Copies of this chain bind each other. A is one copy, B any other.
């Protein structure tokens, strides 16, 4: 996977999940520092229909496996934010 390519491919994600992977909306999860494999499985589940969400399903529909790996690697590598910060 390629975190630099992932950053570019993840630009659209930032509207909800924040520029640095810390969500700007309480209903939506932080992605920064999340397990890379879990992120990959989640995006694939949205793409392939195992998980359904009005926003995420269409977002994921056009992604290749390589896109998903890059995006997952990018968010997993971002620093997680503790509540105290």
Contacts and interface: CB of A to CB of B under 8 A. Distances in A.
Given A76-B83, A82-B80, A37 B27 contact: yes
Interface residues of A, number: 27
Interface string A38-66: 10011000000011100000000000000
A38 B33 contact: no
A9 B26 CA distance: 22
Given A51-B51, A81-B80, A82-B80, A30 B26 contact: no
A29 B35 contact: yes
Contacts of A33: 30, 80-83
5 contacts: A23-B35, A27-B38, A30-B35, A51-B51, A76-B83
